[in-house]
Chain A
Amino acid sequence: MKKRKKSKRKVEAAKTKPKFYKAIIKFCLIFLALLVVLTATFPFLSDKFNPQLTWLMVVTADITGFFLKLFGLTARVSGRIVTLPNFSVEVVGECTGLYEMLIFLAAMIAYPTGWKKKLIGAGLAIPFLYVINIIRMIFISMVANWSPRTFEFLHLYFWQVAMILIIVSTWILWIKKVVHYERKAVVVHR
């Protein structure tokens, strides 16, 4: 019996292996193509939607300033600039979380699943990524206010790792909770 089970497992594994290899290669190729298209068109789109992008930067600065005040810091916000006692920061395109959203959307579109799940994912992930980005902004501003010299280091280093961490974890979370979600049947024993 055990041998039969083992051989069945081997057959199943041999069947799924080319399937997932193909799926992974296909995902990577589509993801890369989307990334190239999205990032290549981004500069033109950011020019075209400049007022909207500026509005997003101002809102990000306002929200960051609000939370910094909530945490007891004397923060002043003027347009895109957040001023703290020892440090001031200008909110630019990178600070809005837009790049993380673009990469996440590319990874989500490239993933082999239905459009309904992709739309649900986009609807949930975009606000989530924005909130995570605000947390990142608050953290960097607080540390930079405490030690202004660390800003460049933190901004440069933290951004790369935070970007990968945020994208990978949100993408896995979406697959596990939305794509692989199955309704559990409730069996009532009478």
Chain B
Amino acid sequence: MKEKLWLFIAKFILISALLFVFWHLTGALERTGTSTPFGEPGWYLMFLNYVLSLLLIKLAGFNIQYFPAPKPVLLNLIPFVSLMIITRGIKLKIRVSRLTWGLLILIGWHLVMTMAVYLLHEGYHVPSQAYEKLSVPLYLFSGTLPFILWILFANKQVAGLFVRRKKIK
């Protein structure tokens, strides 16, 4: 991390804000527009639903119409993409491949979480109070996942935080 912290934070806020606008305007979680009813699932939710229905309905024989997605969990894509974009010193090819891997991991996590929420609610009929308690660790882990992935994928760039290099005369 050769960069000044304030500049890093400023870039993080700016990129995250831009990604927010993109995420919201494209209607990722909820469809936007005056003609669409409030709360109608957006393209990302539809995508998760499609993959899960392929996996669970066609392969495992479940009979489900719609999977209720845990929305707060699905938002960790933005901080991860922001961190990977703003970190200096990663070659474009490596950046793109790591960004793709990270996104695949996060999407995989979203699928697991959506399935877990469905099973907790519909499969095991976990009472809402117990579900609330279970959801806290899962939400916390989801929130922290972009940070862990960033440290792993931008390891050379954050290495300075872990090992202080000696100056060679």
Contacts and interface: CB of A to CB of B under 8 A. Distances in A.
Whether chain B is bound by chain A comes out as yes
Interface of A: 5, 8-9, 12, 16, 19-21, 23-24, 27-28, 31-32, 35-36, 39-40, 42-43, 93, 99, 102-103, 107, 112, 153, 156-157, 159-161, 163-165, 167-169, 172-173, 175-176, 180
A168 B149 CA distance: 12
B125 interface: no
For the side of the interface on B, what is the size category? 35 or more
Contacts of A172: 1, 5, 8, 161
A19 B159 CA distance: 9
Interface string B125-166: 000000001101100110110111011100100110111111
Given A8-B168, A165-B13, A156 B72 contact: yes
A33 B82 CA distance: 26
A86 to B, nearest CB: 19
Main secondary structure of the interface of B (DSSP, over half): helix
Interface of B: 1, 5, 8-9, 12-13, 16, 20, 23-24, 71-72, 75-76, 78-79, 82-83, 133-134, 136-137, 140-141, 143-144, 146-148, 150-152, 155, 158-159, 161-166, 168
B30 to A, nearest CB: 9
A165 B23 CA distance: 18
Nearest to B146: A164
A111 B128 CA distance: 36
